Amino acid sequence: MARVLLVEDNELNRDMLSRRLIKKGYEVEMAFDGAQGVEMARHNQYDIILMDMSLPVIDGWEATRKIRSSGGLERIPIIALTAHAMAGDREKAMAAGCSDYDTKPVEIERLLGKMTALLSGGA
């Protein structure tokens, strides 16, 4: 099954989303801040990254740029998750290099749909 890197600093969100993804059959690893997320993405093999945008150390946009500019990670699907349900955030996330975008609170079905699409090569 697909390996997912979930970069999320909020414990509740992390716990909730990881449990639901695991329940759906994903293998989930977790990073607690942007820098850790970049580190893990560079050193491990993931099929998809779920990236919160408001993160400590370095934020999600910056983390995404760093991952994108690392060798071999130009094409890995990254879905931005943000509570800033504001217009403009989508463009901002896409500009940073994200493949897709979803707002929090997460609607699990919608998120799963986007993940499936990206993993099946729709990128």
Q: Which stretch in 7-15, 30-38, 42-50, 111-119 sits in contact with another protein by CB under 8 A?
A: 7-15
Contacts within 8 Å (CB) and 24+ apart, 68-72: 68/96, 68/97, 70/38, 70/41, 70/42
Nearer to another protein, 23 or 43 (CB): 23
Task: Figure out which of the listed residues 108, 112, 117, 119 binds another protein, where binding follows CB under 8 A.
Answer: 108
**Smallest distance, Å, CB 77 to another protein?**
14
Question: Which residues make Cβ contacts (< 8 Å) with residue 8, sequence separation at least 6?
Answer: 14, 17, 30, 31, 32, 50, 52, 55, 81
Place of tokens 């099954």: 1
CA 34 to mean position of chain CA atoms: 11
**Smallest distance, Å, CB 39 to another protein?**
17
24 interacts with another protein by CB under 8 A: no
Using CB under 8 A, which residues numbered 42 to 101 contact another protein?
A: 54, 65, 68-69, 71, 74, 83-88, 90-92, 94-97
List residues near another protein by CB under 8 A: 10, 12-13, 16-17, 19-20, 54, 65, 68-69, 71, 74, 83-88, 90-92, 94-97, 104-106, 108
